């Protein structure tokens, strides 16, 4: 079995989501609510939104030629990388929970994840590899670890690694993956 889709999805989401607005929301929510409830609500949101995204990517792979998927995925990754480097802010935001911790965590994280670069990256990865299940597992492993870090470490994480460095690293990683996807698709090398 080829674990490249799982490992690539895991690594990319780990780096891209570290310090992202959804992780900051988890940190903020966990400072006001029970950590376990925030963790459960956030993971449910990631599973629903990114599970649907992985299925959509798998469906795209069934109808679109592989070379165009590679070029499209690469282009999307490069655009996200440039957006991350030029336009994303690294400021911390306060998030107020308005209802039960699990429900508020679920709804907030689900809304924040809709249309987010990582959600669209999941669609692209699932289409690129034509392996929605492995991509989903990799993504959920990354989100589980990141959500656990956000819940247990809270604001301390931002003291260890400045969010500006995380943002720059994430943006560069998206660009590198985008270039590699396009190069692989155009040369038919099967690099990824």
Q: List the pLDDT tens digit at each of the 192 positions of the chain.
A: 689 999 999 998 888 887 777 777 787 667 666 778 889 999 999 999 899 988 888 787 778 777 787 787 778 778 877 887 887 665 544 444 345 678 878 887 887 777 677 888 888 888 888 889 999 999 999 999 999 988 886 545 445 666 677 667 767 877 887 788 788 878 876 554
Looking at residue 166, its pLDDT comes to 64
- Mean pLDDT across the chain: 78
Q: In this structure, is the dihedral angle defined by the CA atoms of residues 76, 77, 78 and 84, taken in order, positive or negative?
A: positive
Looking at residue 139, its pLDDT comes to 94
Give exposure, 156-176, as e/b (b: 16+ Cβ within 10 Å): ebbeeeebeebbebbbebbbe
- 2 CB neighbour count, 10 Å cutoff: 9
Using CB atoms within 10 A of its CB, is residue 115 exposed (0-12), middle (13-18) or buried (19+)? Answer: exposed
Looking at residue 163, its pLDDT comes to 65
Looking at residue 92, its pLDDT comes to 47
Distance in angstroms (rounded) separating the CA atoms of residues 81 and 119 = 14
Looking at residue 65, its pLDDT comes to 78
Looking at residue 135, its pLDDT comes to 93
Q: What is the 3-state secondary structure (H, E, C) of 15-80?
A: HHHCCCHHHHHHHHHHHHCCHHHHHHHHHHHHHHHHHHHHHHHHHHHHHCCHHHHHHHHHHHHHHH
Domain layout of the chain by residue ranges: 4-187
Distance in angstroms (rounded) separating the CA atoms of residues 66 and 45 = 30
Residues listed for the chain: 192
Looking at residue 9, its pLDDT comes to 92
Distance in angstroms (rounded) separating the CA atoms of residues 88 and 167 = 8
Looking at residue 97, its pLDDT comes to 39
Distance in angstroms (rounded) separating the CA atoms of residues 150 and 155 = 8
**Phi, psi for residue 87 in degrees, rounded to 5:** -120, -20
């Amino acid at each position: 079995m080829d674990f490249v889709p799982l490992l690539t999805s895991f690594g990319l989401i780990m780096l891209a989501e570290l310090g992202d607005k959804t992780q900051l929301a988890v940190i903020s929510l966990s400072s006001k609510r029970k950590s376990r409830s925030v963790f459960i609500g956030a993971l449910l949101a990631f599973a629903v939104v990114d599970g649907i995204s992985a299925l959509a990517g798998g469906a795209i792979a069934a109808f679109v030629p592989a070379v165009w998927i590679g070029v499209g995925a690469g282009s999307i990754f490069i655009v996200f990388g440039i957006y991350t480097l030029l336009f994303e802010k690294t400021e911390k935001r306060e998030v107020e929970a308005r209802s039960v911790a699990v429900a508020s965590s679920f709804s907030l994280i689900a809304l924040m994840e809709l249309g987010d670069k990582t959600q669209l990256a999941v669609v692209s990865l699932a289409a690129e590899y034509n392996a929605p299940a492995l991509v989903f597992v990799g993504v959920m492993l990354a989100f589980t670890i990141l959500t656990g870090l956000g819940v247990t470490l809270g604001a301390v994480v931002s003291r260890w690694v400045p969010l500006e460095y995380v943002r720059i690293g994430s943006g560069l990683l998206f660009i590198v993956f985008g270039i590699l996807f396009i190069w692989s698709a155009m040369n038919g090398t099967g690099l990824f």
